[in-house]
Amino acid sequence: MVLHSSRKQFLKWSVIEMLDMEIIDIHCHFDHGAVGESAKRNELHKADLAFLKKERERLGIKKTFMSSFSSVCSTERIYEENEYLFEKMQKATWLYQWVVLDPREKRLFSQVESLLKKDKIVGIKIHPELHKYEILDYADEIFAFANEHKTTVLMHPPATIVKTAAVADKYPDMNLIIAHLGVMEHIDAIANAKHGNVYTDTSGQASYKNNILEYAVEKVGSEKIFFGTDTYSCAFQVGRILLAGISKKDKENILRNNAIKFFIK
Ligand SMILES: [Zn+2]
């Protein structure tokens, strides 16, 4: 098969050159046989660290920001899981950590506080849906805490995306990443942010939507979008960005530059 030369050029530019660059996955999870992990996970959706590492090496994802599945799927062992990942991370240059916070468990605030002083801790992860609390009851407390520590909150999107993001207008020294770019509300929340401190990531499955990334970049700019996988196939996730109908600069921002600017010292 002979490829048309401009198309050849496009593929070379999109795939080959881009795969040479360092990619950063800011949203991922892993299993390690702990309480609360999904029983549904099996060989078809492997999520142990060894497998995830191998896939990442293959695709040029050099750094991955993690929290364990156990700590986001259940509230039983959040403190211990935060400690577990912190230990693991010491020997793994590719791992960075979100410290998981359930605002109802008060000792987690002091754990977060002390971990935030350490290297490779990127911020606070919250999951109101699986931890089963109403985010609007706790958003002020969590965001004020993050604001005091000038850090970032990675939030699983609640039903009330726009209302919750509006709470961040009171806290200009924190950043809020609303995970799983997937609905119009993600884009509205970023556009409405008074201090420009609201962002999103491409993790999850919603990037299969045929114009989602392109529309989001057009409306709010690629500087507001981070690359993430949420453990779903990084081949699919990386491919979606590399082959998107956006500029090379936008791809670089999403796959790497935004994360470096924000998190890598
Ligand atoms: Zn997640």
What mean pLDDT is predicted for residues 56-83?
96
Query: Which one is predicted more confidently, 197 or 264?
Result: 197
What mean pLDDT is predicted for residues 214-233?
97
Is 7 a domain residue?
A: no
Compute the distance from residue 31 Cα to the ligand 1 centre, in Å. Answer: 13
| CB-CB neighbours of 226 under 10 Å | 28
Compute the distance from residue 125 Cα to the ligand 1 centre, in Å. Answer: 8
Compute the distance from residue 183 Cα to the ligand 1 centre, in Å. Answer: 16
- % of residues, the chain, pLDDT over 70: 94
Tell whether the model's pLDDT for residue 16 goes beyond 70. no
Is 106 a domain residue?
A: yes
Is 134 a domain residue?
A: yes
Tokens of residue 20, six digits: 């040479």
Tell whether the model's pLDDT for residue 43 goes beyond 90. no
Q: How far is CA 245 from the centre of its chain?
A: 22
Is 5 a domain residue?
A: no
177 bridge partner residues: 154, 199
Compute the distance from residue 67 Cα to the ligand 1 centre, in Å. Answer: 8
Is 10 a domain residue?
A: no
Compute the distance from residue 1 Cα to the ligand 1 centre, in Å. Answer: 41
Segment 135-182, tens digit of pLDDT: 999 999 999 999 999 999 999 999 999 999 999 999 999 999 999 999
What mean pLDDT is predicted for residues 24-35?
95
What mean pLDDT is predicted for residues 45-67?
94
What mean pLDDT is predicted for residues 85-112?
97
Is 162 a domain residue?
A: yes
Segment 128-147, tens digit of pLDDT: 999 999 999 999 999 999 99
Compute the distance from residue 28 Cα to the ligand 1 centre, in Å. Answer: 6
Compute the distance from residue 154 Cα to the ligand 1 centre, in Å. Answer: 9
Compute the distance from residue 134 Cα to the ligand 1 centre, in Å. Answer: 17
Helix (H) or strand (E) holding 141: helix 135-148
Distance CA 166, CA 116 (A): 25
CATH assignment at residue 46: 3.20.20.140
Compute the distance from residue 230 Cα to the ligand 1 centre, in Å. Answer: 5
Mean pLDDT of the chain: 93
Distance CA 80, CA 85 (A): 9
Domain, as residue range, for 191: 17-263
Number of domains present in the structure of the chain: 1
Compute the distance from residue 42 Cα to the ligand 1 centre, in Å. Answer: 18
pLDDT at 9: 73
pLDDT at 17: 66
pLDDT at 39: 66
Distance CA 246, CA 84 (A): 39
Compute the distance from residue 90 Cα to the ligand 1 centre, in Å. Answer: 22
Is 2 a domain residue?
A: no
pLDDT at 184: 97
pLDDT at 81: 98
Compute the distance from residue 66 Cα to the ligand 1 centre, in Å. Answer: 9
pLDDT at 18: 67
Query: Which one is predicted more confidently, 35 or 104?
Result: 104
Is 4 a domain residue?
A: no
